[in-house]
Structure formats: C-alpha cells, structure tokens
A and B are shown apart, each in its own frame.
Chain A
C-alpha cells in the first residue's frame, strides 16, 4: 500500500550509542521532514529535505544527521545519543506545490537510558 512507514516503532538504547531511525514513502513526494514531539512543545522540525541530496536544518538540528540519497528514503541518525533526545520522532512527506499538507508516519518512540 502507498504511504509512509517508519521503523522501528519503538527503540531503547543507551547514551553515547548511534541510532538510526528509518523513513520510507511510496508517494514519490518531493519533500520529507523529521520532527520530534515532546510534551508542551508540539512537533518541532529537526531537518527537512526538498529533494534527493538536498537537506536543510530545522528548528532543533543539533545532535542529528540526515541523508537523502533516494527520493523515497530519509533516515535520521543520532550519532551519539543523549537522554535529552528521548522523544517521539515523526517522519512526514509532502508533494511540491504551494499548499500541500504533510502526511505523517506512525512515529518512533525512542528512549535513551
């Protein structure tokens, strides 16, 4: 089925470890986004990508790395996880155009011990 999938759905890791969250969309949308959701903050943008090989920082990029070698994939890597990165992470995509809404994956709950 067409859509946007995130994996894993849940992840527990330790501080200092590297962890990668995966995001895959089948719509061929140009834009992809990574958000983190924390209580009281809503969703905050970490990184986004307008097309393959084009990425840009969002509001809270520190400690995260992204890549987009293929249009359909947009992985998010925490190179050295910290407890403050414990959060729920959402990937989203949208088509190009002036008014396209974003479509979201089901989120990854990441706990860093």
Chain B
C-alpha cells in the first residue's frame, strides 16, 4: 500500500519570501501521479499542481513549482513570492493510474506573515 508523509506539520514564511514544503511517499509502482492541494480557512480543497511520474520535467504553475525526485520518492512544493492568500493547509496526494483513489499526506499548515 502507498503511504504519503509530510514531515512538517507547521511552517511560516514572510510575505514575498520563498518557502518549500516537503512530501515523501512510498510505492512500488513505476508510474503514478502526484498532486498538491491547498485548503484555505474556507475549507475548500483547491488543486495547486500535479506531476506525472513518467515526466522528468518538474511541473510549474505560476508561483508554484515542484521538485520531483523519483528515485528518492520526494515531491516538494516551492511557493515563490509568498502572498497572504497562500495561508492554508497543504496536502500532498498520490494516485495510481486508473486507480482514481488518492492517498493523502497529513498536511502542512502554512502561515504567511505580513
């Protein structure tokens, strides 16, 4: 069974600075998908970014980028130019192809400080 670990329960960053959230996972699959979701205080679950394991190029979405290290089974999220609206819980998630079921990590609570 797959497991997802987020070793940082809480983090904080100053506005306009860069922060990196860690995620590691355990799987015997060779192909899979990884996601980062953001959950602001409003409780919505918002897809931030996704990565296909067969792609070597790291995914990027505006200020959000990932560092995907397949051999190390690591999938960290980098947020550049942090904004107050980035304050949220961030969840890393793993999915097998056609498996549809997500396995979520326990989350990292990020606070962006003015």
Indicate whether A and B interact.
yes
Residues of A within 8 A of B (CB): 31, 33, 35, 40-45, 48, 50, 58, 88, 90, 92, 94, 96-104, 106-107
* Residue contact B101 to A45, C-beta cutoff 8 Å: yes
Q: Give the complex CA separation of A35 and B39 in angstroms.
A: 14
Contacts of B33 in A (CB 8 A): 99
B44 to chain A, nearest CB (A): 6
Contact with A along B77-114 (1 / 0, CB 8 A): 00000000000000100010110111011110000000
Chain B contributes a number of interface residues (CB within 8 A of A) equal to: 23
Q: Give the complex CA separation of A103 and B106 in angstroms.
A: 19
* Residue contact A107 to B43, C-beta cutoff 8 Å: yes
* Residue contact A42 to B107, C-beta cutoff 8 Å: yes
* Residue contact A102 to B102, C-beta cutoff 8 Å: yes
> For residue B42, which residue of chain A has the nearest CB?
A106
* Residue contact B105 to A42, C-beta cutoff 8 Å: yes
